[in-house]
Structure 1
């Protein structure tokens, strides 16, 4: 019979393990409710050893946020192939995968948590928003967006965030329906702004020209037509 020997972790390996453990705990409960003792216990080390790698809970929280924000920003990366509506829908599905997997941590980040207001936290949140903004511009093949397009994209990103937070509080709307609705919201915001901007109108026409008959943008058109039609007896 052989006796297993616990391998000693290197400094960076241990740091990454603690970040992973913290993220797992933060995914199930608000970071405010998770103690250093719990993190140490879940990692199989002592409380003082946690402080050897991180000076305090705030620094560990910020390191966990860094990993989470990198993950979240990556959810907006999508191959530039096929109609825009279908691409945005795939992005929304991956985004809500993250929200569902990290609900309490996502909520704490956006609504308030131990690092709220810190320059590090603000920079991480802004970084995710900027990454999403750049990705959407890339999908639209635009390098210098007209002002109204920038407003559309940034407003939509804020709408996605706030919608996800409301959805987490009770999940009263089916997730799949909400993902489609958010793609429709993007199209609606763009269409309204295009009515005031010829450059944006031309861009939107190109997008709609490539839209599939069964795609989410086409579905929105059908729904709007039905909305304006008189009800059948």
Structure 2
């Protein structure tokens, strides 16, 4: 039988509760549109009590973004087992799960939101991107990436980010198609770089050696092969 007496939270427990409440609200609306009064009401406390734990909305906003950034970084974690294409596809699935669940919060994190220009927020965003790049390099089995590979990986992480932001604006393309397309984009970026550099060619060939014909990279080859007759039919002068 309950007594109806509300348990008093410790300082850190209350802080974590407020961060969770803020994140939940930011998942449905832009942080710009969420007031301290709404956060207080959702947490079941008074507005002055929110300020007891956080000096202002900015500090609460940054704390919520920190938790979101940490969670987003974990979405790129994947055991280094099996074909690379399948691993990247699972990573993209978890990445878009986060984007889908925390749309406005994800947009705020990547675009800066109310904290635009804040060195703290910039560091959070850079940390997520760096963690993602390190995970992709780990999947490739490369500890000290050559400049061209680093360029490919960083470009791909930026592409995934911008693709997700555009997708959030109406979700006009099926999510599963975008996830597969981004895996194909990684293969395409790597292949173009490999065409210019022998070291990149070796990295790509090692990755492809374990790819099954029915995997994501095999699917890309099938799609490109279907385009080959149409490309071959284009008059040479059109390709110059």
The TM-score bracket by the shorter chain reads over 0.9
Question: Any conservation in 2 of the 1:85–1:217 contact (CA below 8 Å)?
Answer: yes
Q: Secondary structure at the match of 2:113?
A: coil
Deviations 1:27-53 (A, max 9, x none): 000000000000000000000000000
CA deviation profile, 1:73-132 (whole Å, cap 9, x unmatched): 000000000000000000000000000000011112223411111000000000000000
For the 8 Å contact 1:85–1:216, the answer to whether it is kept is yes
Paired residue for 1:222? 222
Structure 2 contact 40–50 (Cα < 8 Å) conserved? yes
Q: Which consecutive unaligned segments of at least 5 residues does structure 1 have?
A: none
Give the corresponding residue for 2:146.
146
Kindly report which structure 2 residues correspond to 1:95-114, keeping only aligned pairs within 5 A, or say none: 95-114=95-114
Query: For 2:92 and 2:212, how far apart are their aligned partners in 1?
Result: 18
Q: How does 1:1-233 map to 2 (within 5 A)?
A: 3-230=3-230
May I ask how many residue pairs the two structures share in their alignment? Answer: 231
Find the aligned partners of 2:2 and 2:108 in 1 and give their Cα distance.
46
Runs of 4+ in structure 1 over 6 Å off: none
8 Å CA contact 1:109, 1:116 repeated in 2: no
Correspondence for 2:236: none
SS at match of 1:143: coil
Q: TM-score, normalised by structure 1?
A: 0.97
RMSD, matched Cα: 1.1
- Check the 8 A contact 2:180/2:216 in 1, yes or no: yes
- 1:2 to partner: Cα distance: 5.2
